[in-house]
Amino acid sequence: MIDLKLREVDDSNSGFLYKLLKKRDLKANLSHKKMPSYKQHIKFMKSKPYQKWYIIEKNRKKLGTIYFSKQNEKAFGVAYRSRSKKNLEIARIGIHFLPEIQSELISQASIQELIRKNPKKKYFTNVSPKNQRLIKFFEKNGFFLFQYTFEYNLVKIANNFIDSRKCEFLDPDTAFEIIDDKHTNYIIKWRSDPSNFSFLAEQEKLTKTKQRKFLKNYTSLNRIDFILVDKQTRKPHGTFSLKNIFSDRPEIGKLLGTKELRGKGIAYKATKALLSFAFRELNLKKVYAIIKPDNISNISLNQKLGFKIIGNEKINSRKFIIMTLKNNLV
């Protein structure tokens, strides 16, 4: 029997836990896709995110961490039924070790000690499908697969669209990226240009503070914004967006900020790629475009793509033309 100690996490463990976090494989990680800053890590610790949270120690050496989660997280589910009748609650386990700690006996002893200290009716754990080593470990130690949880994530779908090179309609010298803070200065510059600003439905001045607030809440905004960039230099050239995706009127928007590229068919090709994403990847039945009547080049481009004018409406006391395009694939 391995002599392990589980000590409850306190502020003195912040450095070790951050070191542990930095050494985790992001590809097989469910909770973080980007490495948080140390300040964000401290804030997370102070939020008391888990029911029980321990440091795993052997001979006073810190090996890893183990905890009970407070919530049912989206993940690959594995369950273990306890014989204990003392407590009818359900617990969800998370466990992480330093990369150099690969002993199954230590992992096994850690879970057994956690269960001994916290008897429950059932125990669950979430494991990334990519983490085959951990899946095999849990299956070997009495856990069984009881469900698959699938996630619908617009950003992941969009990234897959980019990574799988489905943006076939783009100009060969350009590429799509998902909007990020590194694009903020360019977007503010493009939107502030009087020749662009007059055509925007939203007439409020964009600032860095507003844009960063927008990005912070981005995954809940029911939209995807592609940034058109130079394939070699990655310099941004414009935005091609799809918003209100799950509404009755999903809407496209486009702004080619680099004026030297206008009139060369690049915006046409980028919009065609955007429509491919909307129709082929998201299976939308139709999309709409809302355009100022004096934005002749934009109206002409849309008509070239097959859009039809179906009416007009006022937005903030300004008149706009409504155009729509049906998905011929469905």
Assess whether 111 and 252 both reside in one domain.
no
pLDDT at 329 over 90: no
The larger pLDDT score, comparing residue 69 to residue 85, is at: 69
Q: What is the mean pLDDT of residues 306-318?
A: 92
Indicate the residue among 88, 115, 147 that finishes a domain.
147
- Long-range contacts from 109-112, C-beta under 8 angstroms, 24+ separation: 109/1, 109/2, 109/4, 110/4, 110/6, 110/56, 110/64, 110/66, 111/66, 111/141
Number of domains in the chain: 2
Where is mean pLDDT largest: 32-41, 95-104, 245-254? Answer: 245-254
pLDDT at 84 over 60: no
Assess whether 68 and 98 both reside in one domain.
yes
The residue count of the chain comes to: 330
pLDDT at 297 over 90: yes
| CATH number where 36 lies | 3.40.630.30
Indicate the residue among 147, 174, 196 that finishes a domain.
147
Convert the pLDDT of each residue in 244-284 to its tens digit.
Answer: 999 999 999 999 999 999 999 999 999 999 999 999 999 99
pTM: 0.69
Assess whether 301 and 164 both reside in one domain.
yes
Burial class (CB in 10 A: 0-12, 13-18, 19+), 244: middle
Q: What local confidence, expressed as pLDDT, does residue 277 receive?
A: 95
Q: What local confidence, expressed as pLDDT, does residue 83 receive?
A: 46
pLDDT at 78 over 50: no
Assess whether 114 and 180 both reside in one domain.
no
Assess whether 141 and 158 both reside in one domain.
no
Assess whether 68 and 43 both reside in one domain.
yes
Assess whether 138 and 189 both reside in one domain.
no
Q: What local confidence, expressed as pLDDT, does residue 36 receive?
A: 86
Assess whether 138 and 158 both reside in one domain.
no
Indicate the residue among 147, 173, 201 that finishes a domain.
147
Burial class (CB in 10 A: 0-12, 13-18, 19+), 62: middle
Q: What local confidence, expressed as pLDDT, does residue 93 receive?
A: 83
What residue numbers bound the domain in which 269 lies? 154-326
Assess whether 206 and 313 both reside in one domain.
yes
pLDDT at 194 over 60: yes
**To the nearest whole percent, how much of the chain has pLDDT over 70?**
90
